Chain A
Amino acid sequence: MKLTVWTYEGPPHVGAMRVATAMKGLHYVLHAPQGDTYADLLFTMIERRNHRPPVTYTTFQARDLGADTANLFKSACQEAVDRFDPQAIIVGASCTAELIQDDPGGMAETMDLGIPVIPLELPSYQRKENFGADETFYQIVKALSQPQDKTPRITCNLLGPTALGFRARDNIEEITGLLADLGIEVNVVAPFDATPDDIARLPAAHFNVLLYPETGEAAARWLEKTHGQPYTKTLPIGVGATRDFVAEIAAITGRDLKADESRLRLPWWSSSVDSTYLTGKRVFLFGDGSHVMAMARVARDEMGFEVVGMGCYNREMARPLRALAREYGVEALITDDYLEVEQTIEAVAPEMILGTQMERHIGKRLGIPCAVISAPVHVQDFPARYSPVMGFEGANVLFDTLIHPLVMGLEEHLLTMFREDFEFHDDAGPSHHGGKATARKDPSETVEAPVAATVAPAPESTFEIVWLNDAERELKKIPFFVRGKARRNTEAFAAEKGLQEISIDTLYEAKAHYAR
């Protein structure tokens, strides 16, 4: 047994639901107790979908267990096919049904439903949501795709976007547009908005663009092996990666491709003088492996941040992420234990977190600004406006996303100059965040992180080292958004020098020591 409070991933059948809900004309019959229907709300509430997920739950009860849960499954299957008239169904068991061993796949196959039946084996007690989505999509592709000639023109498929995926809707649009600029048509996008008939047409494309490795890689590999379709390895997140992505496609297609970069604004926004203040901001990244790896490059090479730590919750990505972390000279944190992530972030004390909705909460508590860059996300991260994170417009969006939680450059100067001013005082926070100025009264409610951050003692050193009153007062004169760093640096410096007390001199010696 493993004690768990909050989870980054749901069970694997929720992954299967993400595929089924993304598709059209497909239905999922899930052998599961009534409470498992909670998963519908992930789609209808968090993603604001206006349809129920295409899932029929058998909702067996205790009294059915001794009797006939198998028949319950069969009638649920038949009724679902009669009512919803799908082109194909996927069938499987949730964690509880796995234990009663009714074999939904076997049963459905014997039922002669007149449509393809795709059985899913998703081990609920070993694997998680991303695996469930990846495996389900793979099984669907394997079962439904038909050998056929390639299209006369060069086409590709976009693979991996599911329901509840991070910015899936807009990434599809952005990358479809980018490919169109390059003269490449999209054959099929799957599973997002694809029908079983569309899945059958996948092999007609010349190659595949793998947009979401977590949920599409197994299918991409199988298509490569079976239908000779190479797939892209670069995620077009950020300027450099998007350029690499174009180069990769040029290599695959053997064409000389040049993308239209006229709408790309990140490079200038990042070089303009206001952005100088971004230099060396210490950021910690956590999320799914693919997004973290892509965003580390954006953070360091395109924003000028310093990456001080990175990690992912999906073990499947542990190996490449560890390798990348080594390149960045940081330790990789591979865990799905939320408390461990929080402890690590507290110890590293970054100036900003790039994470999931979980890190947003960690940031709130520790007083560290957070930008959300990866699933799982909550309702506020399904924006109404067009906001891809892939391609060139995606790069522009990322620039805005990454600076929004921070105090802006000019404002930083004003804060330093007028630090006792009533409007620019420490507790006001970035002026473009409404409501922050009152945050001090209710730190749990708002992102009033900076205050909390300075109050929180640095983890290791506070026990032996004492701040003298003068030094403490001097520290308070330093603007809040760098105060945590100043405190930590000074304490580390004092510890290194074996000092018991911190005076004003210590503070400024430390400042000189760390000057860059």
Chain B
Amino acid sequence: MNAPANPAGGGCRNAPILKERGQREVFCGLTGIIWLHRKMQDAFFLVIGSRTCAHLLQSAAGVMIFAEPRFATAILEETDLAGMADSQAEVDSVVARLLERRPDIRQLFLVGSCPSEVIKIDLAKAAERLSAKHAPRVRVLNYSGSGIETTFTQGEDAALAAMVPVLPETTERELLVVGALPDVVEDQMVDLLDKLGVGPVRLLPSRNIDSETGIGPNTVFALAQPFLGDTHAALERRGARHLPAPFPFGEEGTTEWLRVIANEFGVDPAHFDAVTEAPRARARKAVAAATETLGGKSLFFFPDSQLEIPLARFLTRECGMTAIEVGSPYIHDAIHGPDLELLPAGPTISEGQDVDKQLERARAARPDLTVCGLGLANPLEAEGLATKWAIELVFTPVHFYEQAGDLAGLFSRPLRRKGLLKLEAAE
């Protein structure tokens, strides 16, 4: 049970960070609703916003049109803006109609947007009033997913942070794993922790409101996602203690993440090795297949989901790639530090964005693979740069051992495809 060696040439934890402030090409936090509503099966997300917000959700959801999804937008109209309609009363009536039609809703999130925040609709007040009115059947919470406050995955952070204060108090010694994961991945994780003898394990978000997730001074928590800064702070405020670790991507990341938890719970090292040995070998083997394509290739991350630093660690250390630039919308040392430490020195670490300047850097560097958002991918491909669109990373199961190969495959596929297509004449 050996901890991983830090890179010979040093890591990136103390590297200078290029901080940029300019045009950002990123989604706002509303986007998180697309995966959160699938995860929390008794929850509904009601955005108080504009036609733009509704259109964003629809565009981000792509072709996944469900008859009546568990999210919707209450679109503000002229009367709401001119103050002719009382916004609190309007929210009440929209919610009343919604709950009447959808009796399956147990948790309702009122989600703030740029317009609702600029005109200062007090959704906290609305949530409090509606919670009292519809208790105990429905719990009403609020958070901001607006583009002036949140970037992409920060929407999930805001939603989870809003849940922390209302979770029940417990004095039990429990492990809380925080961050939405696809069910299949979550089950694998719980199984691994179970085999290690760690428990009880609680989850945030849980699949439904009646779960036993509580928090207290004996709670220790591990983050499954690297974008949960506010949730991290909210949990610490309630006395829970964070277990900082690299994120569970790839064989090494998963092992280190588990090892930190195992150490905390006093798991015998020999037992740890016995439990992890087989899945580690499987993960290494699966990753090796993609490494043939990825090894020796250069990599450039545009900022998107805050997954960039842990993924760069995985792709450089386990897949043999070289990072040129690793951009992240935000960097928190308490959360990203362990991954930065392992990431071999060399790449530019950038925070924030000035998209045109960053595009110039990418064009100059001509990386073998560029990880970027949907708005940039095809234009860069047209310039001859292979790309991986980042949104897939939050919609696809990529965590823990059994997905390590799939994760590597997401990056190797664009390169393999580039090699496969032969469009020249035969002679």
Contact = CB atoms under 8 A, between A and B. Distances in A.
Contact of B65 (A6, A45, A99): A6
B108 to A, nearest CB: 13
A39 B55 CA distance: 9
Given A33-B146, A38-B59, A5 B72 contact: yes
Contacts of B74: 1-4
A265 B240 CA distance: 74
A125 B377 CA distance: 31
Contact of A10 (B51, B71, B94): B51
A35 B117 CA distance: 14
A41 interface: yes
Contact of A37 (B58, B78, B90, B375): B375
A37 B68 contact: no
A322 interface: no
A293 to B, nearest CB: 25
Interface stretch (B21-29, B197-205, B266-274, B412-420): B21-29
Contact of B115 (A3, A42, A51, A95): A95
A229 to B, nearest CB: 34
A476 interface: no
Interface string A63-101: 011000000000010010001000000000011100110
B28 A51 contact: no
Contacts of B58: 6-7
Interface stretch (A54-62, A186-194, A245-253): A54-62
Nearest to A37: B25
A9 B51 CA distance: 9
B81 interface: yes
Contacts of B59: 38-39, 41-42
Interface in B74-112: 74-78, 80-81, 85, 90-91, 94, 97-98
Contacts of B193: none
B51 A52 contact: no
B117 A62 contact: yes
A3 B77 CA distance: 11
A79 B71 CA distance: 38
B10 interface: no
A38 B94 contact: no
B51 A41 contact: no
Contacts of B31: 35, 38
A76 B356 contact: no
A182 B350 CA distance: 59
Given A50-B379, A65-B118, A35 B94 contact: no
A7 B51 contact: yes
Contact of A36 (B80, B147, B377, B382): B147
A102 to B, nearest CB: 12
B215 to A, nearest CB: 28
Contacts of B149: 61-62
A446 B64 CA distance: 13
A49 interface: yes
Interface string B43-82: 0000010111011101110010101110111111110110
Contacts of A378: 63
B260 interface: no
A96 B118 contact: yes
Given A3-B97, A44-B378, A35 B76 contact: no
Contacts of B147: 33-36, 59, 96
A42 B374 CA distance: 9
A40 B376 CA distance: 8
Which of B30, B50, B72, B80: most chain A CB closer than 10 A? B50
A125 B378 contact: no
Given A4-B72, A37-B25, A96-B50, A62 B148 contact: yes
Most chain A CB neighbours (cut-off 10 Å) among B56, B85, B381:
B56
A126 to B, nearest CB: 6
B176 interface: no
B291 interface: no
Interface residues of B, number: 61
Interface in B359-414: 373-379, 381-382
B119 interface: yes
Interface string A7-24: 101110110000000000
A5 B78 contact: no
B376 to A, nearest CB: 7
B222 interface: no
Contacts of B375: 37-38, 40-41, 44, 52
A485 interface: no
Nearest to B375: A40
B51 A34 contact: no
B379 A76 contact: no
A368 to B, nearest CB: 14
A445 to B, nearest CB: 11
A4 B51 CA distance: 9
A128 interface: yes
Interface string B1-44: 00000000000000000000011111111110000000000000
A125 B25 contact: no
Nearest to A56: B23
Interface string A426-468: 0000000000000000000000000000000000000000000
A350 to B, nearest CB: 18
B23 A125 contact: no
Given A38-B56, A59-B23, A124-B50, 14 more contacts: A1-B80, A4-B74, A5-B68, A5-B71, A11-B50, A33-B148, A34-B28, A34-B151, A35-B30, A37-B26, A39-B55, A49-B378, A61-B149, A62-B117
| The 9 A-B residue pairs with the shortest CB-CB distance in the complex, in nearest-first order | A35-B28, A35-B147, A40-B375, A50-B382, A33-B147, A96-B114, A41-B374, A95-B50, A10-B55
Interface of A: 1-7, 9-11, 13-14, 33-42, 44-45, 48-52, 56-62, 64-65, 76, 79, 83, 94-96, 99-100, 124-126, 128, 339, 342, 358, 361, 365, 378
25 contacts: A1-B80, A2-B77, A6-B54, A7-B54, A9-B51, A10-B52, A33-B147, A35-B26, A35-B28, A36-B28, A38-B60, A40-B376, A41-B374, A45-B377, A50-B379, A56-B23, A60-B148, A62-B149, A64-B148, A83-B356, A94-B52, A96-B52, A96-B114, A125-B80, A126-B77
